[in-house]
C-alpha cells in the first residue's frame, strides 16, 4: 500500500521546539526505564515461577515496554539531528510500528489488570477469577494479535516525507487527505484511549462503592484493589491524555483552514512533546507491578538482599567484596 502523500496541510517543517526540549527528556526516560524493566523481567522470570494469571498480564506489560525501549534511541538520534531521519524507509515503518505497539499493548494490559481487580472485588465468584495461567496466556496472545493487526497498516505504508533535505519519519504526518490506513491509525489512537478510560473509571467507581458498603474487617483487600486501579488510572491519564488532547486540537485547527497554519504547526509541536508523556509509561509501569503483586515486592526485596550479601561476601584473602571495590 503506497501511503506516501506529499500533499500536506500547511508546509511541513522541522519542529525546532521539539528538537530542543524532547531529547534530554527521552534520554532520562530511557536511562530510568531500561533498568526498571530489566529488573522487573528478571524478577518475573527468576523469582515468580509458576506464574499466576495476574503475573502473566504484568509480564506482557513488561514486554510491551521493551518495544518502546528498543525504538527510543532512534527517535532520540533523529531529534538530535534536527528531526532528520537517516535510517531509511523500512526502519522508519518498523520504528513507528514498535512505538505504536507499545502504546496499544500497554493500554490493553493496564485495562486487563484493572478488570482483574474489579472481578476479584465486585464479582468474587465469577469464573473469570478462576482462569488458569494457560488461559491467561491465551488472553494475552489474543491481545497481541489484535494490537498487531490494528497497527499493521504502519508497516504497509511509506511514512517518510522529504522536505528541504530533511527526511521526516512521522506516523502523524499532516496529510491534506490522509490515506485510509492512516485514518485507521488515527481512529485506533483515539478509540483505544477513550474505551479504556471508560473501563478504568467504571472499575474504580464500582470498587469504591463496594468499599463503602463492606464491613471494616473486609475492607483491607478492597482498599488494596482501589489503590491498584487508581494507580493505573493515574498513570494512564498522565501518559496518554496529553497526546489525545493535543491531537484533537490539531484536528480542529486543521478544519479552520490554512489561515491558522502557525497555530496548527505550534500545536503539532505540542502534540509531539505530549507524546513524550506517552513514553513515560515505561518508566512508571514498575509502580503497577509493585502495587499489583505482593509476590513481586517480596521478590524485589529478596533480590536486593541477595545483591547486598554478594557484595559483602568474604573474598579468599579474608576481605569482603565490598571492601575490595
- The residue range of the domain holding 271 is 16-292
Q: What is the pTM of this model?
A: 0.86
- What value, to the nearest 5°, has the Cα angle with vertex 53 and ends 51 and 54? 95
Q: Extract the C-alpha cell encoding 324.
A: 575490595
Specify if 8 maps to a domain.
no
DSSP-assigned letters across all residues of 125-149 = TSGGGG--HHHHHHHHHHHHHHHHH
pLDDT tens digits, one per residue of 136-160: 999 999 999 999 999 988 888 888 8
Domain containing 235 — which CATH number?
A: 1.20.1070.10
Specify if 174 maps to a domain.
yes
Specify if 237 maps to a domain.
yes
Does residue 320 have a pLDDT over 60? no
Mean pLDDT of 51-79: 89
Q: Tell me, what's the pLDDT at 173? A: 73
Q: Is 169 helix (H, G, I), strand (E, B) or coil?
A: strand
Specify if 109 maps to a domain.
yes
Residue 178 · residue 22 · CB < 8 Å: no
The more confident residue out of 319 and 277 is 277
Specify if 100 maps to a domain.
yes
Mean pLDDT of 169-175: 78
Specify if 80 maps to a domain.
yes
Specify if 297 maps to a domain.
no
pLDDT tens digits, one per residue of 244-259: 999 999 888 888 877 7
Does residue 5 have a pLDDT over 60? no
Domain count, the chain: 1
SS (H, E, C) 70-81: HHHHHHHHHHHC
- The band of 3, judged by pLDDT with boundaries at 50, 70 and 90, is low
Percent with pLDDT over 90 in the chain: 33
Specify if 306 maps to a domain.
no
Q: Tell me, what's the pLDDT at 165? A: 79
pLDDT tens digits, one per residue of 224-249: 788 888 899 999 999 999 999 999 99
Amino acid at each position: 500500500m503506497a501511503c506516501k502523500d506529499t500533499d500536506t496541510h500547511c508546509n511541513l517543517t522541522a519542529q525546532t521546539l521539539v528538537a530542543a526540549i524532547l531529547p534530554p527528556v527521552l534520554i532520562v526516560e530511557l536511562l530510568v526505564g531500561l533498568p526498571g524493566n530489566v529488573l522487573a523481567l528478571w524478577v518475573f522470570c527468576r523469582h515468580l515461577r509458576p506464574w499466576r494469571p495476574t503475573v502473566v498480564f504484568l509480564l506482557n506489560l513488561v514486554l510491551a515496554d521493551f518495544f518502546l525501549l528498543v525504538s527510543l534511541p532512534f527517535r532520540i538520534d533523529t531529534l538530535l539531528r534536527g528531526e532528520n531521519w537517516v535510517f531509511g524507509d523500512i526502519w522508519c515503518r518498523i520504528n513507528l510500528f514498535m512505538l505504536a505497539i507499545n502504546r496499544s499493548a500497554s493500554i490493553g494490559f493496564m485495562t486487563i489488570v484493572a478488570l482483574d481487580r474489579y472481578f476479584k472485588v465486585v464479582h468474587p465468584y465469577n469464573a473469570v477469577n478462576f482462569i488458569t495461567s494457560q488461559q491467561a496466556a491465551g488472553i494475552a496472545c489474543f491481545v497481541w494479535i489484535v494490537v498487531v493487526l490494528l497497527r499493521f497498516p504502519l508497516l504497509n505504508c511509506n511514512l517518510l516525507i522529504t522536505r528541504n533535505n530533511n527526511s521526516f519519519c512521522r506516523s502523524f504526518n499532516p496529510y491534506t487527505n490522509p490515506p485510509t490506513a492512516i485514518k485507521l491509525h488515527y481512529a485506533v489512537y483515539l478509540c483505544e484511549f477513550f474505551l479504556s478510560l471508560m473501563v478504568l473509571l467504571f472499575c474504580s467507581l464500582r470498587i469504591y462503592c463496594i468499599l463503602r458498603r463492606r464491613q471494616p474487617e473486609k475492607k483491607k483487600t478492597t482498599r488494596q484493589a482501589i489503590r491498584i486501579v487508581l494507580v493505573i488510572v493515574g498513570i494512564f491519564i498522565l501518559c496518554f491524555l496529553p497526546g489525545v488532547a493535543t491531537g484533537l486540537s490539531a484536528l480542529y485547527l486543521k478544519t479552520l483552514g490554512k489561515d491558522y497554519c502557525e497555530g496548527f504547526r505550534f500545536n503539532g509541536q505540542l502534540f509531539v512533546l505530549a507524546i513524550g508523556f506517552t513514553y513515560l509509561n515505561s518508566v512508571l509501569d514498575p509502580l503497577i507491578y509493585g502495587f499489583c503483586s505482593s509476590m513481586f515486592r517480596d521478590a524485589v526485596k529478596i533480590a536486593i538482599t541477595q545483591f547486598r550479601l554478594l557484595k559483602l561476601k568474604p573474598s579468599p584473602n579474608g576481605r569482603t567484596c565490598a571492601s575490595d571495590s
